[in-house]
Amino acid sequence: MIGGRKPLGALVSGLRGRVVEGADWGSVIALANHTLLTPTLFAALEESGRIEELPADARAYLRFIHDCNRTRNIRLRAQLDEVVTELNRCGIVPLLLKGAVPLFLAESGTMPSRMTSDLDLGVKPSEEHPAVACVADRGYVALAGARGMSRAGDVGILELRPVSSTGPDLPEVVEREGRRVAIPHVRARATHWIMHDLLKEGDYWRGRIDLRHLYDLAHLAETEGLQWAGLRASMPDQLSRDALDVQLLALQHFFEVDIPIECKQRLNVRLRHWRRVFTAEYPLAGGALRLSGSLAWGVRRLSRQEGRDWRDLPDLSRRILRVLLGKDLRSKI
């Protein structure tokens, strides 16, 4: 378990409902803001009964952000309910993705503290165009130059993605107040977060950590009994298993999650885990490691996905520079 008075250790302790004595709460809150965990931090400390131990100004700020996020989530929930109702009317049962799941499943009178940027819904590939036309009848229009649809007065972007549900972990159809949605299997939700961060966004090579998604995984393991051994066995190849193992080692390190012993056996995995933890805890000292990791990932991404047209050197150079400078990190540490 990570500890100490450093901002990262104090933030992780706070997410577990603990208060680190003597922590610099200005730095802790800055890190919570960056990682989109400020409302969750307040909720965890309030639930554990430790929120009053914080300095008054820190406590007031956390409460303010938490309350603002709750108001926004209430509006997002209403927006989600309306979209689901409209899609159901058109004969479509959407698959809820990422933050839409806890929003929809929240019990009456409660609201998740998780910060959710947009509403991501999956539909069958054959239903994508009918679904777009369906929500267009409610005023949604496609965003120019970006994915998703928006509507004046809403707080979140709506994104309809074509998805195919195959394999043993099929989603469960759930009905709430007459609205029918499909909820991904807990193993599918965990796989999405891990593969998206570690492989698609390159955290496996770059040595970065999305602390909010790591907390989401810890919460899934605690509340829904996620079995890591079964998830590990479902990985299609060695790279995916290594990426999973790196993330599970981070879960154990930061949130004391029990993981299979097999996750710790490969030297390559342990070294990548050490690099992620070291650069997160000592960002200045880890600068060279971050730079080399970003370079490796940038070369890999450009050569595999975007590097085929080498004639466009100016655009290629900008992409490489963006990766090296970490301009695409958003909330990662």
The predicted pLDDT at position 314 comes to 66
Residue 75: pLDDT band (50, 70, 90) is very high
CA distances from 75 to 43, 87, 116, 160 (A): 19, 18, 11, 19
pLDDT digits (tens, 9 = 90+) for 237-258: 999 999 999 999 999 999 999 9
For the chain, percent of residues with pLDDT exceeding 90: 68
Q: What average pLDDT does this structure show over 18-31?
A: 95
Q: Verify that 157 and 301 share a domain, yes or no.
A: no
Range of the domain at 101: 77-184
Q: Residues 99-110: pLDDT tens digits?
A: 999 999 988 778
Quick check: 158 and 99 in contact, CB under 8 A?
no
List the Cα angle 78/79/85 in 5-degree steps: 90
Residue 140 lies in a domain: yes
Cβ count near 64 (within 10 Å): 12
**End of a domain among 131, 159, 184?**
184
* 143, 160, 184 - which closes a domain: 184
Do 325 and 240 share a domain, yes or no?
yes
Spatial distance between the Cα atoms of 276 and 198, rounded to a whole number of angstroms: 11
* Confidence (pTM): 0.88
| pLDDT range class, residue 323, cuts 50, 70, 90 | low
113 and 163, same domain (yes or no): yes
| Residue 266 located in a structural domain | yes
Distance separating alpha carbons of residues 26 and 24, to the nearest angstrom: 6
Question: Is the domain of 237 the same as that of 174?
Answer: no
User: Is 311 in the same domain as 196?
Assistant: yes
pLDDT at residue 325, rounded to an integer:
64
Residue 70 lies in a domain: no
Q: Is residue 69 part of a domain?
A: no
Say what the pLDDT of residue 179 is.
96
User: What is the SS3 assignment for the chain?
Assistant: CCCCCCHHHHHHHHHCCCCCCCCCHHHHHHHHHHCCCHHHHHHHHHHHCCHHHCCHHHHHHHHHHHHHHHHHHHHHHHHHHHHHHHHHHCCCCCEEECCHHHHHHCCCCCCCCCCCCCEEEEECHHHHHHHHHHHHCCCCEECCCCCCEECCCCCCCEEEEECCCCCCCCCEEEEECCEEEEECCHHHHHHHHHHHHHHHCCHHHHCCCCHHHHHHHHHHHHHHCCCHHHHHHCCCCHHHHHHHHHHHHHHHHHHCCCCCHHHHCCHHHHHHHHHHHHHHHCCCCCHHHHHHHHHHHHHHHHHHHHCCCCCCHHHHHHHHHHHHCCCCCCCCC
Identify the band that residue 140 occupies on the pLDDT scale cut at 50, 70 and 90. Answer: very high
Q: Is residue 270 part of a domain?
A: yes
Can you give the pLDDT at residue 302?
Answer: 67
Residue 56's alpha-carbon distances to 8, 29, 237, in angstroms, are 21, 13, 51
| Assigned domain for 60 exists | no
pLDDT confidence band for 304 (50 / 70 / 90): low
Kindly state whether residue 155 falls inside one of the protein's structural domains.
Answer: yes
Within this chain, do residues 167 and 193 fall inside the same structural domain, yes or no? Answer: no
Integer Cα distance of 295 and 280 in angstroms: 18
Residue 173 lies inside a defined structural domain of this protein = yes
Q: Are 85 and 12 in contact (CB under 8 A)?
A: no
In terms of domains, do 49 and 163 share one? Answer: no
CATH of the domain at 113: 3.30.460.40
Q: How many CA atoms lie within 13 A of 282 on its CB side?
A: 7
Q: What is the pLDDT of residue 52?
A: 96
- Among 168, 184, 200, the domain-final residue is 184
Q: Are residues 136 and 207 in the same domain?
A: no
Q: Residue 165's pLDDT is what?
A: 73
Question: pLDDT per residue over 167-213, tens digit each?
Answer: 677 899 999 999 999 999 999 999 999 999 999 888 999 899 999 99
- In total, how many domains does the chain have? 3
Please tell me whether residues 223 and 306 are part of one structural domain.
yes
Q: Characterise 17 by phi-psi region: left (phi > 0), alpha (psi -120 to 50), beta (else).
A: left
Same domain, 100 and 241: no
pLDDT of residue 226: 86
pLDDT of residue 61: 98
Beta carbons of 253 and 214 less than 8 angstroms apart: no
CA distance 85 to 117: 21
Query: Does 178 share its domain with 189?
Result: no
Q: Give residue-wise pLDDT tens across range 117-130.
A: 899 999 999 999 99
Alpha-carbon distance 9 to 11, whole Å? Answer: 5
Phi, psi for 55 (deg, rounded to 5): -55, 150
Domain identity same for 282 and 224: yes
